[in-house]
Amino acid sequence: MSKHQPSGVLQWLSLFLLMSLFGVSHGDVGTAAQYSPPYLPTACYGNNPAQFPSSNLFGAAGEGVWDNGASCGRQYLVRCISASVPNTCIPGETIQIRIVDRAETSLSRPSRNGATIVLSTTAFSTIANASANSINIEYSHYSSSMSKHQPSGVLQWLSLFLLMSLFGLSRGDVGTAAQYSPPYLPTACYGNNPAQFPSSNLFGAAGEGVWDNGASCGRQYLVRCISAAVPNTCIPGETIQIRIVDRAETSLSRPSRNGATIVLSTTAFSTIANASANSINIEYSQ
């Protein structure tokens, strides 16, 4: 943001417009506990077994989120940011969960009372050490329903355009991802330095459209699998944050497919998709 100081007022105006029109609430901080089966009945949908996403990424709303039941069915992006025991968070993991219950009345009791959101065991263990009772999270309401707000469409696009041009945010570009396996060294970005890889092993090599003459080295991307040639290849609800450390065109180990937008490490690829796939369609944003 500091690159664009003169337009600070416009930035905030556009952010405000965007948040009010899209209902995006960015990065609230709270706590998450976990709860285990039995999950039925729930305060939202009773005994209906179809209420649970196939990913098993769901949760129960704490009183601050419950919103008198309006939170039922809402999707949240949730990321572990810290915990009382170091290394509890699994780095680079963001999940998308669905609210199906109210923590205060859930049949199975949360691992800690008063949490902002109580996560299913699958959800909790995807972002943190499953032994923890409580973690600190960043969460945001995920609303993909732009079409709900038709009347203000022009303002939406205006604010999105303002935001994208002022912040340099690129939201949800669509492309393809291949995968590549070790050896990963040397890389076009950092040579033989072993410290270049994040401890999560979530990294990748930039395709020519992303490479940007080497300026992409070290950039972080959020990547989500959206589809693939074989049905059920994507792992639902998984978004990873990867770091660019190499250029796909010159990587020592060759990508599973040429021409991909981003080539993911085996760990990164298998976190969002079936590891047997050669190529998937992704949504990615810096």
Q: How far is the CB of 235 from ligand NAG (least distance, A)?
A: 9
Q: How far is the CB of 123 from ligand NAG (least distance, A)?
A: 17
| Whole-number Å distance between alpha carbons of 249 and 254 | 8
Bond preceding residue 37 cis, omega within 30 of 0? no
CA count, 13 A, side-chain hemisphere, 68: 0
In terms of Cα–Cα distance, which of 97, 113, 94 is closest to 105?
113
CB atoms within 10 A of CB 209: 13
Q: Give the binding site for ligand NAG (CB under 6 A).
A: 85, 87, 129, 131, 230, 274, 276
Residues recorded for the chain:
286
List, in order, residues 6 or more apart from 6 with CB less than 8 Å away: none
Q: Which is nearer to ligand NAG, 23 or 91 (CB)?
A: 91
Given the DSSP bridges, would you call strands 117-120 and 262-265 parallel, antiparallel or unpaired? unpaired
Q: How far is the CB of 196 from ligand NAG (least distance, A)?
A: 23
List, in order, residues 6 or more apart from 77 with CB less than 8 Å away: 94, 95, 96, 139, 140, 142, 239
Q: Which is nearer to ligand NAG, 47 or 276 (CB)?
A: 276
Q: How far is the CB of 280 from ligand NAG (least distance, A)?
A: 12
Q: How far is the CB of 140 from ligand NAG (least distance, A)?
A: 26
Residue 99 backbone dihedrals phi, psi, to 5 degrees: -80, 125
190 touches 196 (CB < 8 A)? yes
Helix, coil or strand: residue 92: coil
Token representation of residue 32? 């998450």
Q: Which is nearer to ligand NAG, 29 or 85 (CB)?
A: 85
Q: Which is nearer to ligand NAG, 87 or 105 (CB)?
A: 87
Q: How far is the CB of 271 from ligand NAG (least distance, A)?
A: 13
